[in-house]
Amino acid sequence: MSAVATRKPSRRNKTAVQPAPPIRPGMEGGQYKPFTQPDLERVHALVLKLLEDLGLSQITPSLEARAIEAGCWVDENGRLRFPRALVEDVIARTRRKFTLHGIDPRHDLEIGGKRVHAGTGGAAPTIMDFDTGKYRESTVADLYDVARLVDRLDNVHWYHRSIVARDAKSVLDLDINTTYACLAGTTKSIAVSYTDAASVKAVIPMLDAVAGGAGEFRKRPFCTAVCCHVVPPMRFATESCDALEAAVVAGMPILLVAAGQAGATAPAALAGAVAQACAEVLAGLVLCNVIDPNCRAIFATWPFVSDLRTGAMSGGSGEQALLSAACAQMAGFYDLPNSVPAGMTDSKLPDMQAGGEKGYTISLAAHAGASMIHESAGMQGSLMGTSLESYVLDNDLLGAILRTVKGVEVTEDTLNFDVIRDVVMGEGHYLGHPQTFERMKTDYLYPDIADRRSISEWEEAGARDARDVARDTVRRVLSEHYPSHIPEAVDTQLRDTFNIILPKARMRPGNGVW
């Protein structure tokens, strides 16, 4: 199974049974457990206490009315309190799994349980220019290019916008153009962080148009609303709560994000940071459920780490790996579809530091059973930057990590005495054995970028490093791959209706950029 999709026609007999690939979206994790069972119960006890005895401030009037009707109350300090019985009832009745739809149904993902998926995320304000190697402000065109690249990377399962379009002139233009660039650049599921309710309401006609007409998006919602509904510690974010309410009403999946920073806006103690994040996300989950009990809500506990010497974010730290894995385990304790962040290297380059930090943060999250691992591809500089070649390199890395999640298969065939006896008593090696031919496609993943040749072969081929090889893939994909799943008439309609910044000529081969 190639990590980078090639779209080459197969010469095989179409009726032949194809061997199962060594990895696929949704393999089950959960073997790594940073918390013991008593630990989980103690964290949960604090979560319930925070919600009932402390609550959250700054609730919007509309959501306050809904919450009070459901059984919450506002105390003398204006803080919305959540009774334990209500919180536990919402946890019990929340959807355990649902389909996260792709624009193309081939990319539908079954979210829930401990089925592991990996994708993009973040809101980087800069991108490393592909030609100069210097960071610059990111644009709508960059957002579209990243979407096109992700569209061809098999181990990146969705596209959550990972950079900010700095050339948008207003908040509404930003959200509209972000949605358009994501829709036009990939057929995978997309996610956008909407600023307020006005933005959510504005893009619904766009999503409907791409889905096939008025009301069609609700039937297969392929765009997730990313809602940072809280400002840690334990305060609601007014505009994001308005966006949350509008998105739930519109039938959009909701990524409920609490992104405190340990030692700054969350406790420095890692267990305390997990508990606060869980409380903040559960508060959002209650609000979603009182709007629509059948909503597609994703429990996104995203506590980040501060370097306590400077206060700067440290997305690639060992502590971050532990926090994300612990949050994934807590979500498993609640049996809720969930998301955690991993892959947020502090390195500014796709170098050894980046590979190491991405490797251990993503691995721990995957093995802890995270439903969705966000920020797992492309991010640099503690989420402040991105680079195109990083997506290709990380796609290779994700393939290897997902292979470890699949684990070692133990069956009658894999523990076959006859196979070993035949080789020992026969040719003395397994190279030509039928089991070897069969297993080489079902048990082994072959990278596109990582180089396994001998030193002499590598030197004779030019001694190129992985980043240089990844740049070849970027050039090839971005010069050739211009998705055309949005019909021309629909695109014209969108451009007539919305202030689309991305020129149509920029979305065709031979545009002078690639």
Task: For the chain, state the CA radius of gyration.
Answer: 24
Q: What is the pLDDT of residues 336-373, one digit of tens each?
A: 999 999 999 999 999 999 999 999 999 999 999 999 99
Q: What is the pLDDT of residues 252-280, one digit of tens each?
A: 999 999 999 999 999 999 999 999 999 99
Q: In what order do the strands lie in the sheet with 190-193?
A: 27-28, 115-118, 372-374, 338-341, 297-301, 254-258, 223-227, 190-193, 159-160
Residue-level pLDDT at 300: 98
The structural domains of the chain, ordered by start, are: 91-406 (3.20.20.480)
Interval 295-304 mean pLDDT: 98
Structure tokens at 250: 């519109």
Q: 4 pLDDT band (50/70/90 cuts)?
A: low
Residue 6, pLDDT above cutoff 60: no
pLDDT, averaged across the chain: 95
Residue 11, pLDDT above cutoff 90: no
Q: What is the pLDDT of residues 382-438, one digit of tens each?
A: 999 999 999 999 999 999 999 999 999 999 999 999 999 999 999 999 999 999 999
Phi, psi angle pair for 214, to nearest 5° = -55, 130
DSSP letters, 427-470, are TS-STT-HHHHHHHHHT----SSS--S-HHHHHHTT---HHHHH
Residue-level pLDDT at 13: 47
Q: 10 pLDDT band (50/70/90 cuts)?
A: very low
Q: What is the pLDDT of residues 72-124, one digit of tens each?
A: 999 999 999 999 999 999 999 999 999 999 999 999 999 999 999 999 999 99
Q: 16 pLDDT band (50/70/90 cuts)?
A: low
